Chains A and B, each alone.
Chain A
């Protein structure tokens, strides 16, 4: 894989601009993806935070979901934050009736598990595998999901360290897929995006 990979950010809705900036800081060329043609032109894809029901419905409406599933099965690296984590999960708890996902990560994710907006929070977390892992990462959790259970093929790379939710799984990865409950794109810290760009280079 080339040293400056082209990473698309799915631009249906949500925190698109922030991911574009974080990816550029992490050494990738970033572009928005709204159409099948644009999806065909990228080496990897980020599914941003937003409303997972909206992203799912519009991805299906415009034929993107099926294509994303095929690209993922063919080995395209993907990273999902918050709603994006839900989109990459094989199983969703608290989904609305007909909600679908891209899947690929053998995890069960619970939507809005940390609660509604009044419970949205920030906390420092330790993430395995990022640059300078001893330095805590600013975890920004907004109506965030958590991972209820993860299969054997999944590496858990971060859990909540304190408070009533201590031990909850909030970041996971496989060889090509990465997912976080929180929003690294809302911080100035690009280490999670660097990890993803590294995964893209190795793919």
Chain B
């Protein structure tokens, strides 16, 4: 190490995600919601034009948000501000970097721009978070330069089942790797469709080299406690808060339940009197080609 100043290093990118651990990142579509999120104790906000539930309801192509809207939210809160770019849309990511957001989510919630390639995230100073449904997908995103992973779940549904499936899948694949003999890791890398070096690192350390959050369908304090007990480092809540009856109360409740995920007395206490949760759609009722989890590969 020299006394030169180095920005955009892997350590400051991954380290930024480490500082979000144990916290809740909330989707917000305007300044008022951003302030509610900050007041509730959110560790960051995701600025976007429509929450996933509305994207799902309204259909059409979903894109990066208006820079004016992102700027307004940045000016209104002191916590980090994240924003979404379409999968493979590196020009949207360049715009978000130019705006100075703190993290970019290359997200399946927006319409993909490239059905073959994800963004080369090493080229950016701003760190990226990407979704994954399994370990191989997570490791491919890390290979492209992602500094944080979130399990995908099924955004905009209020149905936590896919978040559970993806988190359990990733954790069990990590465990399986860490129990393998060294000479089995070559085939494991082939099967995971991920680089051998990363696979060997996961096998040796017994964990992903980055933070692993959870997302997609989380709507209640108990959902947060469930996902944290399943091994999530933190939680993204999208439509679950601002599509519910009492956003300010629910936002505070999910933050407190995420901190005290291992204390059912606290989760019970904060779950009282929250009013209606978001209406919700069962993932099983969504036609397969309308599911977001299959975007990205």
Mark A residues whose CB is within 8 Å of B. 11-18, 34, 49-51, 53-54, 57-58, 61, 82-83, 94-96, 111-112, 116-125, 136, 138, 140-143, 161-163, 165, 183, 186
B66 contacts which chain A residues (CB < 8 A)? none
User: Are A57's CB and B41's CB within 8 A?
Assistant: yes
Asked if B205 CB lies within 8 Å of chain A CBs, one says: no
Q: Does B145 contact A (CB under 8 A)?
A: no
Contact assessment for B79 and A122 in the assembled complex, using a CB-CB cutoff below 8 Å = no
Chain B, residues 1-36, CB within 8 Å of chain A (1/0): the string is: 111111111011001101111110000000000000
Report the count of interface residues on B (CB-CB < 8 A).
42
B41 contacts A122, CB within 8 Å? no
Tell me if B97 counts as interface (CB < 8 A to partner A): yes
Complex Cα distance, B5 from A125, in Å, reads: 10
Asked if A13 and B259 make an inter-chain contact with CB atoms under 8 angstroms apart, the answer reads: yes
A58 B19 Cβ-Cβ under 8 A: no
Bound: A122/B125 CA distance, A: 13
Complex: chain B residue closest to A135, CB-CB: B1
| Contact yes or no, A14 B21, CB < 8 A | yes
The contact of A53 among B9, B38, B100, B260, by CB within 8 Å, is B38
Q: Closest Cβ of chain A: how far from B89's Cβ, in Å? A: 19
The reply to whether A117 and B103 form a contact with Cβ atoms under 8 Å apart is: yes
Residue from B19, B20, B80, B260 in contact with A34 in the complex, judged by beta carbons closer than 8 Å = B260
User: Which residues of chain A are within 8 angstroms of B41 by Cβ–Cβ distance?
Assistant: 53-54, 57-58, 61
With contacts A13-B21, A118-B125, A143-B80 taken as known, whether A54 is within 8 angstroms of B11 at the C-beta atoms is no
Cα of A57 to Cα of B5 in the assembled complex, Å: 33
Assuming the contacts A14-B21, A49-B19, asked whether A118 and B1 have C-beta atoms less than 8 A apart, the reply is no
Q: List 30 A-B contacts (CB under 8 A).
A: A12-B22, A12-B259, A13-B21, A13-B259, A14-B19, A14-B22, A15-B19, A15-B21, A16-B22, A18-B18, A34-B260, A49-B19, A50-B21, A50-B43, A51-B19, A54-B41, A58-B41, A58-B255, A112-B78, A117-B102, A118-B102, A120-B7, A121-B6, A138-B1, A142-B15, A143-B16, A161-B3, A162-B3, A162-B5, A186-B18
Establish whether residues B5 and A142, one from each chain, have CB atoms under 8 Å apart when the complex forms. no
What's the Cα separation between A126 and B259 when bound, in Å? 35
C-alpha gap A183/B21 in the complex (Å): 15
Cβ of B23 and Cβ of A122 under 8 Å apart?
A: no
Inter-subunit contact B43/A122 (CB<8 Å): no
Pairwise interchain contact A121-B15, C-beta atoms closer than 8 A:
no
> Cα distance A120–B40 when bound, in Å?
26
- Cα–Cα, bound, A116→B16 (Å): 11
Once A16-B21, A50-B23, A53-B41 are accepted as A-B contacts, the answer to whether A121 and B12 lie under 8 Å apart by CB is yes
The answer to whether A122 and B1 touch across the interface, beta carbons within 8 angstroms, is: yes
Residues of B within 8 A of A138 (CB): 1
Residue of B nearest to A164 (CB): B5
Chain B residues, CB < 8 A from A51: 19-20, 23, 43-44, 79-80
| Pairwise interchain contact B1-A11, C-beta atoms closer than 8 A | no
Say how far B40's CB is from chain A's closest CB, in angstroms: 8
Q: Which residue of A lies closest to B10 (CB)?
A: A122
Which residues of chain A are near B23, meaning CB under 8 Å? 13-14, 50-51, 54
The smallest C-beta distance from B189 to any residue of chain A, in angstroms, reads 26
Cβ contact within 8 Å between A118 and B21: no
Minimal Cβ-Cβ distance residue in B for A122: B6
Known: A61-B256, A117-B126, A183-B15. A94 touches B78 (CB 8 A): yes
Q: Is the CB of B7 within 8 A of A34?
A: no
- Residues of B contacting A11 with CB < 8 Å? 22
Which interface residue of A94, A117, A123, A161 has the most chain B CB atoms within 10 A?
A117
Q: Mark B41-68, 1 if CB is under 8 A from A, else 0.
A: 1111000000000000000000000000
Q: How far is the CA of A140 from the CA of B101 in the complex (A)?
A: 20
Kindly list chain B residues whose C-beta atoms are within 8 Å of the C-beta of A123. 1-6
Q: Does B156 contact A (CB under 8 A)?
A: no
**Residue B238 interfacial (CB < 8 Å):** no
**CA of A13 to CA of B224, assembled, Å:** 14
Q: Which 8 A-B pairs have the closest CB atoms?
A: A117-B102, A13-B22, A163-B5, A120-B12, A124-B1, A161-B3, A57-B41, A124-B3
